[in-house]
A and B are shown apart, each in its own frame.
Chain A
Amino acid sequence: MLYKVMGRDVFKDFVKSLISNYEFIGPKRKDKAVHDFVPIKDISELDINYKRTTIPPAKKILFPPDEKLVAYEVNEKIKVRPVVESSEKVLFGINAWDINGMNFLDRFFVTDFVDENYLERRKKLIVIGMDSEPTETNFSPSMDSEYAKDGFDLYITELKDRYFIRINTARGDEILKKYSVTENALVKDFKDYNNYMDNYRKKFKLDVNIKDFYDNFELIYDDDEFWEKVAKNCYSCGSCNLACPTCFCFNVKDDIELNLKDGNKTREWDSCMLPEYGLVAGGHNFRPDKENRLKQRYRCKLKTFLDKFGRYACVGCGRCIEVCLAKINIADNINSIKKEVSV
């Protein structure tokens, strides 16, 4: 890691240069409720002081909601070709917990199989991080995710009169040299950065007791009354999964044209909260009840990948709490599990 500082005026010119030289994706106000990461053509559209985004920016770029995987042609012979669509992009203004969410996907999409579509896009994605305001539902510090150690090219932190920049890749260093003027960070800059981080961490109000979850979850797992209470108003709508920066499940569909010659295999986001997720040939459903599906989701997020990858499949962004119309709150539920088993 290299550390630099950049003046305010220089920062603005740097952003402008990136917008004119790259396919630039950044936060823009969508409506009164949320921001969205979209292609930016002019710096006036960019609003880095965002708070809420519904869909995690890295997920929607790297693992889009639907994409072609394979195109085929059925004539005397069957022709099949893989479809990998990718282009170099700058993802600007993504915050630390969403970078950590992307780091999880990075791990998932190369571990048991190598997903070329994901990997091609990931290689070409220049990631420039910046902190954003946490929402009231955010518990990233509990999940060790309010700070990103890696996964980005540059991470820019706004201090009072200048920007503190962490350089994580040679590519990031080159971009900075090419489009900007920086100085080496000195002790004074580190001091200010530390002060900033202390204050930034104070903005996260929600505390989740994750350390006591791992063992206690097994005690509560068969407590039907508890899970019925938690899942009572669940719509099985999948919003929690689909808005999650680490949820990776997908379904592959076969789309053949009406000419019955050309077709595609496409994938779309799937969700373990939908009743048909656990439905198999012959009509058996492994998880027919919403209570079952919900507790399975908690296991996947908070235990399975801790065992498999040594990290949670949750970065504490709080989106699943915000999008849930049934007000199911994973933070409250994690905290209440210890209380339940202690009674």
Chain B
Amino acid sequence: MSKPKVGIFGITGCGGCQLEILNLEDQLLDLVNAVEIVHFTEAITEHSDNYEIALVEGSITTEHDVERIKKIGDIAKIIVAVGSCAVSGGLNCLKNLYGVERAKELVYGDKKDWIDSIEVKPIDEYIRVDYYARGCPPNRLEIVDIIRSLIIGRKPEIPNYPVCVECKRNGNTCVYDIGITCLGPVTRAGCNSRCPSSATGCEGCRGLIDDPNINAQKDLLAENGLTVEDIINQFNLYNACKKVEAKESSK
């Protein structure tokens, strides 16, 4: 069996997702034995356009990004969006709340016309994405699981249940019991309840589960003293590109 060729790309983001792959330490050698890495923006100078699997971090924020992601989409057979920016647009989407022109003006003043900047979108607005490694940063062990699953031809196991499950498995005190608000009940697990395990509320970086009870979450946050604006801000931090609407039906 020949090793699958993998490209690891960064579009617009902080580069932290690629760093998470480099942080694999214990598994990095096994990883480079299992696949052939032909492009890794943050780690190697060699480059080849011959790859089957693309791991892409970052969101699409410029016309240049659009060209790059379309090229990756044309070449790769399997595309994995890595990290909140690639998956949902991430923090970059906060720009959209101001409008592109206003945001450019706020940041670059009278030089705003020098800047190529468009409305922020996650990569699946431009190309087909097969798998999502969510989170800011993503869980590196989940990235490994996705790659390993691709090699052995199995569907990766990405949780579709809320962070509360992992908090209970980890024996955490619910942060609501110590006066902290948390998006855990509607946020997709897979981070091993990273923030609540450190007595910090979940900010929803992995996005929502498939069928979140948004009404219940709004009630809960309001009961815990948050204003409507606070609640919208909480939901928007990582999910501003994905509109969160409470469903009419409670189902």
Chain A residues at the B interface, C-beta cutoff of 8 Å = 30-34, 36, 54-55, 60, 65-66, 228, 231-239, 242-243, 253, 256-260, 268-269, 271, 274-276, 289-291, 323, 325-326
Contact = CB atoms under 8 A, between A and B. Distances in A.
Given A31-B173, A275-B160, A233 B168 contact: no
Nearest to A242: B168
12 contacts: A30-B173, A32-B178, A65-B169, A233-B215, A243-B168, A256-B148, A258-B27, A259-B30, A269-B168, A325-B164, A325-B174, A326-B220
Contact of A242 (B147, B148, B165): B165
B186 interface: yes
Nearest to B28: A258
- The contact size tier of chain B is 35 or more
A237 B185 contact: yes
Contacts of A60: 171
Interface in B120-155: 144, 147-148, 151-152
A259 B164 contact: no
B161 A233 contact: no
Contacts of A274: 160-161, 165
A243 B171 CA distance: 9
A1 to B, nearest CB: 33
4 smallest A-B Cβ distances: which pairs? A242-B168, A258-B30, A237-B164, A233-B216
A289 B178 contact: no
B162 to A, nearest CB: 5
B219 interface: yes
Nearest to B172: A54
Contact of B164 (A34, A238, A258): A238
Contacts of B160: 274-276
Contact of A55 (B164, B168, B210, B212): B168
Given A236-B211, A236-B213, A258-B148, A54 B178 contact: no
Nearest to B171: A55
